[in-house]
Structure 1
């Protein structure tokens, strides 16, 4: 199977004859959701299979794998984070429909499409970004940034001591006998 940078799959033969269509490719640089950009280290690879399941319905399944560049939650250092996501969706062919649209009817959820060239990027992006961890650490013992001067405490000892304030410290004055 040939990999390409194109994130479309042509379903013309599948729409006429049934069966299965396969595609694979790469996404370079980043995934984007609105104004938010999720940079990649290298490229993310993907592969999909679309299978006719009867009538005008098709089953899309695939996976996308790559390394996202995320910020460490303590020191903000760019941290490579491996991500692997699988996805499956029911597709319904509705001739003449210009864009892929999501439908939810009772217990059925499906994506409707009307053109034989199906853009896979929204499916790949959703799966990849959803599977990314909420936060990452550059290393387990990351010391983070100094809250006083902002220095990276992994690289320098700025000498600032931050007093640890216990959340119940003010209660000590209420009951002096304890």
Structure 2
């Protein structure tokens, strides 16, 4: 979703737009697959040079259970709020050229001071958690990708008591017990010890 700042008037701007599938897929880690997604509902409001953004959407994913590899539906409900500030314009590289050594030193010092001012300004306490934008347009595609990545579960299981697969034959133990887990294989090197009878 791309919004021009000029579209945001004094009142709140609301947009409802489908999310591009590739935007969501780029955020998915290995094992997750996209099934469907609702449109992104977003609102924009300008205040004191900043833009406050609220958005929400839902997505349906699938992922294999980490124990038995059964496909598991993974619903995502995403809500986010952002405070966005325009980035300050960068000074031109040749703006302070001067042939005078003294003036050059002054201008060089001024450049350093201006640079420190820019750094200080960019890290004002009330702007630490703000997102920068170019001052003309707001692109929510990167925001959507980030929110999806943050919402993904660390691990997926079909159910809490999933028994997984038999390591011997690969049988899904949730469906049927293959019996391999009941008898323990004896190391052939130790098999003869069973025949040894100890004297009391």
Larger helix share, 1 or 2: 2
Shared fold, TM over 0.5: yes
Distance 1:44 1:129, change over 3 A: farther
The residue number in structure 2 matching 1:9 is 3
Q: Distance in 1 between matches of 2:52 and 2:149?
A: 21
Structure 1 unaligned spans of 5+: 1-6, 98-102, 165-178
The residue number in structure 1 matching 2:15 is 23
TM-score by length of 2: 0.61
Question: Conserved in 2, the CA contact under 8 Å of 1:92 and 1:111?
Answer: yes
Matched, 1:149 2:149: no
Matched, 1:76 2:69: yes
Larger strand share, 1 or 2: 1
SS at structure 2 position matched to 1:32:
helix
Q: RCO higher in 1 or 2 (8 Å CA, sep ≥ 6)? A: 2
SS at structure 1 position matched to 2:25:
strand
Distance 1:117 1:163, change over 3 A: farther
The structure with the larger Rg is: 2
SS at structure 1 position matched to 2:130:
strand
The residue number in structure 2 matching 1:138 is 158
Distance 1:163 1:157, change over 3 A: closer
Structure 2 unaligned spans of 5+: 91-121, 185-200
